[in-house]
Structure 1
Amino acid sequence: MGMMSVTVTLARSATSVADARDSARTFLERLVRPIAAEAADGVILVVSELVTNALRHGGGTCTLDLNAHPAGIEVAVHDRSPQGPRMRTPDLNGGTGGFGWPMVNRLAHTTAVTRRPAGKTVMALIAR
């Protein structure tokens, strides 16, 4: 199976997260070897969460890379903040979040955060 990839650059706007999800859906629809519906839903959720956080906490712009591998779909989001995501107790009453990074870690086979001079990359591999 050949690899397939796509890169999308996003700026914070009212539609940027929806645009990222749409790009991910289109990418998944074009795969020569489709993935299971449950895995596709996981990819869309991970894209939504990582892009939302990158735009909110990472300087207002980010780049989304999607790569198809035999083992799964790699979602990588690059932003300008050196601060990585962290596990914290979800806030059930105050609306301050804490649900996203645990969710990403449950949906992904592996996750990694790589710090770069210009920010960081957060990667999640969702198994086929």
Structure 2
Amino acid sequence: MTALRCEDARRIAKDALAAHGVADRVVDDVLMVVTELVSNAIRHGGGVTRFDVRFAEGDETVIVEVADASPQPPHTPGTPAHVPGGFGWMLVNRLAERTEIELGRAGKVIRACLAGAAGASGVTGGVSGAGSAG
């Protein structure tokens, strides 16, 4: 079984967003959040254990969920602006209307909710990848 890669997650998300007519501006934001959360799960969380993109019922909100194997919450290390890295979590929080973190012994789930998915109002369901590509 092949581990979920950033490009796979972006493709899954882009297909789900296109199927629901999500505005281009929101698509760009969602793809950036997907990239940051998946790459952080791979780099710092022991890999992606679950990935999901769905739409909140009765709302114009896109929900991106990424689970990984680390029980440690994400953090912003206070890196100076001239030093590369350390800005992904801050970027996710800027783009998302809200973020939620569920910590457990076997890892964590990070949920980013992005508003403004015109065309997705009232749509439920999602596209999931259980940490595998293919």
TM category, shorter: 0.7 to 0.9
Q: How does 1:1-128 map to 2 (within 5 A)?
A: 11=3, 16-31=5-20, 34-69=21-56, 70-95=59-84, 97-128=85-116
With normalisation by structure 1, the TM-score equals 0.80
8 Å CA contact retained: 2:73, 2:101? yes
Q: Distance in 2 between matches of 1:72 and 1:90?
A: 31
Higher RCO structure, 1 or 2 (CA under 8 Å, sep 6+): 2
Structure 1 unaligned spans of 5+? 1-8
8 Å CA contact retained: 2:38, 2:48? no
> Could you say if the C-alpha distance between residues 38 and 10 of structure 1 is closer, same or farther in structure 2, counting changes exceeding 3 Å?
farther
Equivalent in the alignment of 1:4: none
* 2:86 aligned partner, one-letter code: G
Q: Deviations over 1:12-40 (max 9, x none)?
A: 6xxx1111111110111111xx2221111
- Percent sequence identity is 39
Report the structure, 1 or 2, having the larger strand content.
1
